[in-house]
Structure 1
Amino acid sequence: MGTRLAAIHRDFEYRPDLDGLRAVAILPVLLFHAGFSSFSGGFVGVDVFFVLSGFFMARIILTDLERGSFSFWSFYLRRMRRIFPALFSMIAVSAVAGWFLLMPQEFRYFGDSIQAAALFTSNILFRSESGYFDLSSEMKPLLHTWSLSVEEQFYLIFPVAVFLAFKFAHRHIRAIVLVVALLSFGASTWGIVHSPEKAFYLLHFRVWELLIGVLVAIAPASTYGPRGSQALAALGLLAVLLAVFVYSPDTPFPGIYAAVPCLGTALVIHAHCRGGAIGRLLGNPVSVFIGR
C-alpha cells in the first residue's frame, strides 16, 4: 500500500501556492456577487474550493491511515474547530442584521435557514426554493452556506468510505474513486438538463468535483521539471480564469461546464509550481494572505 499510494506522502509540507489558489477562487466569487459584469462566471470559485477540499481531505486521511494513526474523533474534532467558530459567528452577526433589515415573513424564513446552516442541510433547503441566480436570492443572507453543507456532508461520508476501502480494497482505491466520480459526473450532466436545481445543490451531483481533488492527491508524483510544471500550472490557471470571465448565470451548470475550472484546479495542484510567473503569482504574500 505504501508504494501504491506513496504520492500521498509527497510534498506534505505547507504549500503557499494552494493558499494563493484559494485567493484566485474567492476573489471572483466576491466580485461576481458584488455585480462586476466582467466576472460573470465568478461563481466557479466554489468549484475550485471543492477540488481543493477533496485534495486536502484525501491527503490528511490517507496519510494518517498509512501511518496507523487515523482517528475519526480527531478528524471530526479538527473540522469542528476549523468551521464552527467562523460559521456561528457569521450566523450570529447575520441574525442581528436580519432583525433590523428583514420583514417578519422574511425573518421567519431566515430562521429556517439558520437551522439548516447549523445542521449542514442548507443546500437541501435552498434546492426546494427558487434558483441560485434569481433576484429573490438577494433576500437569503445564508444562501452561500449551501456549498459548506455540501462539503460537510462529504466529510461525513468520505472518511468512513476511505477507511473501509483502505481496509478491505486498498489496492483498488484509485479505481473506486474514479468510478464514483464518473458516475456522479454523469448524473450532473444529466441533471443540468432534467433537474437543474438538484444538480446545482445536492451532494451526489457535486461529489465528482471533490473526488477530482482526491484523485490528484493519490496520483503519481509529477516529473515534469520546472518548465513543465510552470506550463501545466499556467494551463490550469488559464482554464479557471476562462470560466470566470466567459461563463455567466445562463451557463448550464455544473455538468460538463464545471469540468473546465475543476480540471484546471487539478492541474495547478498537481503541477506544484514553485517558480516562474505562476509560482510568484500564487505564492506571493498578498495572494497567500487573501487565501488564508
Structure 2
Amino acid sequence: MTISDAGIAAGHKMQVRTVDLDGQQIRVGIRPGSDAGPPLLIFNGIGANLELIEPFVDALAGVEAIIFDIPGAGGSPAPLMPYRFSNLCVLADKLLSHLGYAGQVDTLGVSWGGALAQEFARLYPQRCRRLVLAATSPGVIMVPGSLSVLSKMIGVRRYTDAQYLRRVGADLYGGAFRADPSLLDEHGRHMHPPRGRGYLYQLLAAWGWSSLPWLGTLKLPTLVMHGADDPVVPLINARILAARIPRSTLHVVDDGHLFLVTGAAHAAGVVGRFLRGAAD
C-alpha cells in the first residue's frame, strides 16, 4: 500500500514519518488527496513545526499536501553547519524524489517559508507548476514591520512561554487574534519549540537574501495572499510581489499574519480554486 493509499484508507489524515536524506533526518507529513492535479509542497514559517499549518491542510479538500519540518525546527534535527535557502531547495527536491514525486508540484510558502518558496520556484522551474505566497516579502529589501514587533520575532520565547505568547500574540500576529485572544492558546498547544541553533540557522539563511532582482523572471502563475492587518510583514510587501511577478494575482484577506490558521477554511477555498485554475 502506498502512502496515499494508506492516507485515503485512514480518512485523508496527515501521515507523519521521518526519512533519512544523506544523513539528515527530516520529519515529513503527507496529507493524501483525491484531486488529479499535482501535490502541494508547503514551506512553513520560521521555527514552525508542521502541526501549526495542519488546520489549513485539513481544510484544503482534495489536494495532496506535503510539508516537512525545516532542519532545526519541529522533529528535524539541526545540521552541524548553517545553510542557505539554496541548500534547502536542494533538500526539498531530494525529499520529493525520495518520496516518489517525480513530476511537478504546486508550491506554497508562508512568511519565512514564502521566501524559500520563491527561491525554490526560481531554482526548480521544471518542478513548480503554480506558486502561492502567503504573508511574505521579497526578503531583506522590504518594508519592515515596527521594531517592537520585529524584536519579539527575533527570538523563540513565543514558542516556549505560553503566557508570553498570550501577552504579545495579538500585537505580533494581528487579525483574528486581536478579537479572540483564546485562539492563541489553541495555536500554542500545537507548538514544538524550535532548537536554538536551528532557529538561528533559519535566521541566517534569510540574511542578505532578496528576490527583487529576479522576481520578473518567474513565469509560473502565482497567487499572492496577505492579511490586511499583518504587523510582521506589512501589506505593501505583497503589493510589491504582485507588481513584480508577471503572472500574479493579489488576494487580500481581512485577517492577520497567520490567516492560513485563523481563517483556514476561507484561505483553503481561495488556494484550492487557484490550484485548480479557476478564477479567484
User: If the length of structure 2 is used for normalisation, what is the TM-score?
Assistant: 0.29
- Identify which of structures 1 and 2 has the higher relative contact order when contacts are C-alpha pairs closer than 8 Å and 6+ apart: 1
Larger radius of gyration: 1
User: If the length of structure 1 is used for normalisation, what is the TM-score?
Assistant: 0.29
Structure with greater helix share of residues: 1
